[in-house]
Structure 1
């Protein structure tokens, strides 16, 4: 007869789990022991936040729930930021925490917290295993809920005395939910609105990536000759090289793609998540005709009053509308496209030092292939990556833009390399974000997941400086001192390089990518460009 913990692990295997990211603890020892006889690889991390970020990015890249695990109390609370990030970024994740015995949950007791209620606001499903016989149902439901559109988080609290119980059971058969097709009447209605539009534009969101509908979106845009702007988390759904691409929209300032939305009469929102970019930014007067194409109904918002909603599988919906709608005689907003294209290439030959953000992004794009993956942390560099990085494929520029949590890049790069070992991976991070989870460099080396960490070094919280200068004209308490990042890398057994001249950035990146180990590049950045961009956007 097996233990409940052994049954639990078999249920995880049944769900196709390959990795669990986490830290062993006293209250999860039964699971840890059961994993020794499992095909599942446990990735021991240095901090539970790093484990949660790994599961977060793994889920986002694969569409299968990433799994992280901790012990009770402080171990579980350390998972919260990563789980919240996954939930708000619509990445499937299942978090597991050991718990004290049920015989002490009713009273004040060492390290005991009500974890189910703690995780409830940041997950789609949060529960506790109270009986051995319900393990198969709980595990199956956790994965089903986490992976069903819109995906997000599930949390399982596993008391230690339940885990060690003897029990015979078996996993429940995995049955995947599917998204139905949009009714024909809605296809006709959408086609009629789009056919009558004079200046239509498409706003593509992360839902296009999640549903694997990028190819259908490109075909839809090309057949109907309608340009496409994407959100931060939908970079690559249309190749930037495609003449219908208007690049990325999402800055709070009035950026170049905004001019297309300002003139547009019809905005076709495809897989758009409002959590990324609020509609009052592109529909301030609430006068746009909005066509909502997604798996689920639109969020309620005064600036997002939908003329019609086509709910169902995005790919089939786009194909259906493309067959019935009247194409534009020529694509509108060609001048906007040209301005965006010229803006992206404007710093290709810049040799100023410290390196300008635009130049860093340009050079990074030049050394990576279309399928390689850049994982952006959160900070000023994120704004430049979102705006300037010319993504050609979905899920090749990963940006957290729902919860937008700092510290995700290094753990995320480990997950990316485990999910796609054949691709080059670069963690693009500020110095502050890097130091939040830099301890996971050892994890990367131990797991033999080679990638490059490109640190934009400015020795301050650059994005906050940017905001403070915009609002008050002076910074407040944003500076700090960094370690010697080259020596820091070498202390782990990784390699470290420092960029001394702008001309050295490309060869340094190429060498680092060829080193086949973890490499940290210290690149000084000229963030005086932040306020210059703010001024330029004001003058547009």
Structure 2
């Protein structure tokens, strides 16, 4: 039996059926019916409306939900600039595999062909940034459209979807039943013969290596990798978005992360390996031309999607399906007698020592500024496995990705596809909502922080326990040191200073400042003991950043 209801009410009921808990966004005339019905819903299961200070940040928050939970986050905005401001957030989500459903208000259907107030072709505008972009022309289609957007957003490779909502469609009456909760789509696993062949290749290889990518970081695939490693210890290299796949117990199998510059311990291992098993690897994280060019050896591609093929990435075996179940079945192909040969074991021991040595902070030369490794080391002392750390883009992102250890998947977040400035604080807000009983840490540079710093008010309003640490050096330094490497000088990277302590206090948050490396531990301890959002301003010493892009692949490790 059907009951007549407004289109916006049918849309909200569909969200509830699909397990949507939050809607992030900013209201406007073309979408206010949806906001009214969300705000004043009497259903305890209705999504919580979280008002933000910018549509781009609302999209980041929705993407944060997507990455943390694997289920789409939802963002709702008004027409015109409201919708166009979504573009950066949606392209970041689609590039980096984060499921999002974006809802954009639109002028009334009668005005769609007119040059009227806030009328833009948002469906067409956002199509290149999403997997699926459409406009609803009838209220009876709202529920079905949302259900299909949901399914498309989570289907491998996950990403963003967009639905344009004409104002009169939201207020129009619908008598069609709303869509039920979706049925999970389960992928299969390879045949027994294929598993035996994969196991045989690993057993024959002199130095097999697992390259764990972004799609390997879901709970099921991570569990599969860990089960395989408990049965047969293989060296693992993580991409930045694969951070946390290797647990404390398996740390001897961890050989760092790769990304951006081809000069890490993991690069050495991939170069020497005669068999790379790429699990959930996406080239947007670290293109194969960076790690597979001039390399000798085979590649096995295990993923939930077919790989993008290039001259530098032509796998010798491709297995597409349920990665977690496949890895669990693969583990059964080995018994306790299997181990790597002595030559490989000796090499890995040497490489492990090199990896650990690179994490040691140098002796202090300038006590008024903190060396990145000292800051990473102190953060490591403060942060437990259940805490979530979100990292913005900048020089700090390189230092954190290379040296900060994380032992649970999707607890150390990077923007590695688009390298989008401003994601850290919005992601931290999402993490604080879905992981409410844990401490959340957010990290940015002084440049990137002001891309989304206004959301500090959102964090204060929601009373979230977020410690946001600003690595302060007075430049867009990730650009600066690369320009200096290429041209011998930099251009367009300097800006004025901001008193971030006063900035924090003006929003009702706590502001703390580190004045030298000696008081870093005490200030961080105070930040972690303080309720509500905290901003910590840390003067950072980036004098060694020029070394980040230098080639460090010594012949002795080949």
- TM-score, structure 1 length as denominator? 0.97
- Write the deviation string for residues 266-294 of structure 1: whole angstroms up to 9, x where unpaired: 00101111110011111112533001111
Partner of 2:79: 72
Distance 2:365 2:318 in 1: 46
- TM-superposed CA distance for 1:49, in Å, is 0.7
Query: Is residue 189–residue 308 contact of structure 1 (8 Å, CA) maintained in 2?
Result: no
Judged with a 3 Å threshold, the aligned counterparts in structure 2 of structure 1 residues 536 and 261 are, in CA distance, closer, same or farther, namely: closer
Query: Is residue 361–residue 371 contact of structure 2 (8 Å, CA) maintained in 1?
Result: no
3-state DSSP of counterpart to 1:257 = helix
Partner of 1:401: 416
Residue 131 of structure 2, aligned match among 124, 133, 136: 124
Partner of 1:308: 317
3-state DSSP of counterpart to 1:482 = coil
3-state DSSP of counterpart to 1:150 = coil
Distance 2:442 2:393 in 1: 11
Distance 2:529 2:147 in 1: 42
3-state DSSP of counterpart to 1:437 = helix
Query: Is residue 261–residue 549 contact of structure 2 (8 Å, CA) maintained in 1?
Result: no
- TM-score, structure 2 length as denominator? 0.93
- TM-superposed CA distance for 1:466, in Å, is 1.2
Residue 148 of structure 2, aligned match among 127, 134, 141: 141
Residue 19 of structure 2, aligned match among 16, 30, 40: 16
What is the count of residue pairs matched by the alignment?
Answer: 540
Aligned: 1:232 with 2:244? no
Distance 1:258 1:171 in 2: 51
- TM-superposed CA distance for 1:47, in Å, is 0.4
Partner of 2:502: 487
Partner of 1:276: 285
What aligned pairs does 1:397-436 form with structure 2 within 5 A after superposition?
397-436=412-451
- TM-superposed CA distance for 1:346, in Å, is 4.0
3-state DSSP of counterpart to 1:219 = helix
Distance 1:348 1:194 in 2: 43
Partner of 2:488: 473
Distance 1:101 1:323 in 2: 59
Partner of 1:328: 340
- TM-superposed CA distance for 1:317, in Å, is 1.1
- TM-superposed CA distance for 1:539, in Å, is 6.7
- Write the deviation string for residues 227-253 of structure 1: whole angstroms up to 9, x where unpaired: 000000011101366111001111313
Residue 216 of structure 2, aligned match among 208, 219, 235: 208
Distance 1:419 1:356 in 2: 33
Partner of 1:5: 8
Partner of 2:36: 33
Mind listing any 5+ residue stretches in structure 1 that lack a counterpart?
none
3-state DSSP of counterpart to 1:7 = helix
Which shows bigger deviation, 294-303 or 87-96? Answer: 294-303
Query: Is residue 187–residue 310 contact of structure 1 (8 Å, CA) maintained in 2?
Result: no
Mind listing any 5+ residue stretches in structure 2 that lack a counterpart?
none
Partner of 1:177: 185
Distance 1:222 1:337 in 2: 19
3-state DSSP of counterpart to 1:439 = helix
- Write the deviation string for residues 131-161 of structure 1: whole angstroms up to 9, x where unpaired: 1111121011011111122211111100001
Judged with a 3 Å threshold, the aligned counterparts in structure 2 of structure 1 residues 505 and 350 are, in CA distance, closer, same or farther, namely: farther
- TM-superposed CA distance for 1:194, in Å, is 1.3
Which shows bigger deviation, 343-352 or 466-475? Answer: 343-352
Judged with a 3 Å threshold, the aligned counterparts in structure 2 of structure 1 residues 535 and 181 are, in CA distance, closer, same or farther, namely: closer
Query: Is residue 348–residue 359 contact of structure 1 (8 Å, CA) maintained in 2?
Result: no
Which shows bigger deviation, 244-253 or 370-379? Answer: 244-253
- TM-superposed CA distance for 1:12, in Å, is 1.0
Distance 2:194 2:364 in 1: 49
Distance 2:407 2:25 in 1: 33
3-state DSSP of counterpart to 1:537 = coil
Query: Is residue 348–residue 363 contact of structure 1 (8 Å, CA) maintained in 2?
Result: no
Partner of 2:386: 371
- Write the deviation string for residues 110-145 of structure 1: whole angstroms up to 9, x where unpaired: 221111111111111111111111112101101111
Distance 2:519 2:367 in 1: 12
- TM-superposed CA distance for 1:391, in Å, is 0.9
- TM-superposed CA distance for 1:520, in Å, is 0.5
Which shows bigger deviation, 105-114 or 151-160? Answer: 105-114
Residue 294 of structure 1, aligned match among 295, 303, 313: 303
Aligned: 1:98 with 2:105? yes
Partner of 1:54: 61
